[in-house]
Amino acid sequence: MREIDKIIIHCTATKAGREVTVEEVTAWHKGRGFRTIGYHYLIGLDGKISAGRPEREVGAHCLGQNGHSIGVCYVGGLDERGQPQDTRTEAQKESLRGLVAELRRRYPGASVHGHREFAAKACPCFDVGREM
Ligand SMILES: [Zn+2]
C-alpha cells in the first residue's frame, strides 16, 4: 500500500451549475497526456461521490505531492463570469466532509490541504484549512 500523508482538495474549475462527469474529466486528463483521470474522487453537484483513480495508485493532481496523497475534486469552482468562487452546493459540502472524515479514519495522521497551498492557483476556491 502507498503511504498517505495528505488529502488534497481540488475543483474542476467549471462554472457554477454545470455538472461534470468522471468520464468528462478522464477525457480532459487524457488530453493532457495522463493515463486516466488524475483524481481519486469526484463529487458531483448533487453530492454524488464517484471513484476516479484507485486509491492504491499514485494520482496526477498536485505536482510534487502525488506520491503520498489522495486527490479529491468537487465539480465547480467558477462563478458565472468564470472567476474563482466557492460554488459548492450544500450536498457537495456534506459529501466532501464525509469523504474527508472517512479518508482520515483510514489514513490516520493525514493532513488536509487545498491545491493552492502547493501551486499558484485558486483551486479549490475555498479555505480548506479553516473548514477542515
Ligand atoms: Zn486543483
Using the mean position of ligand 1's atoms as its centre, give its distance from the Cα of residue 42 in Å: 12
The pLDDT tens digits for 4-44 are: 999 999 999 999 999 999 999 999 999 999 999 999 999 99
* Active-site annotation holds for 29: no
* Active-site annotation holds for 41: no
Among 90, 96, 123, 106, CA closest to 41: 96
The pLDDT tens digits for 64-113 are: 999 999 999 999 999 999 999 999 999 999 999 999 999 999 999 999 99
Using the mean position of ligand 1's atoms as its centre, give its distance from the Cα of residue 21 in Å: 16
Backbone angles phi, psi at 54, to 5 degrees: -60, 145
H helices of 15-119, where?
A: 22-31, 90-106
Using the mean position of ligand 1's atoms as its centre, give its distance from the Cα of residue 126 in Å: 11
Pick the catalytic residue from 11, 62, 73, 123: 123
* Active-site annotation holds for 15: no
CB 75 within 8 A of CB 9: no
The pLDDT tens digits for 53-77 are: 999 999 999 999 999 999 999 999 9
* Active-site annotation holds for 40: no
Query: What is the pTM for the complete model shown?
Result: 0.97
Query: Bridge partners of 57?
Result: none
* Active-site annotation holds for 39: yes
| Domains of the chain in sequence order | 6-131 (3.40.80.10)
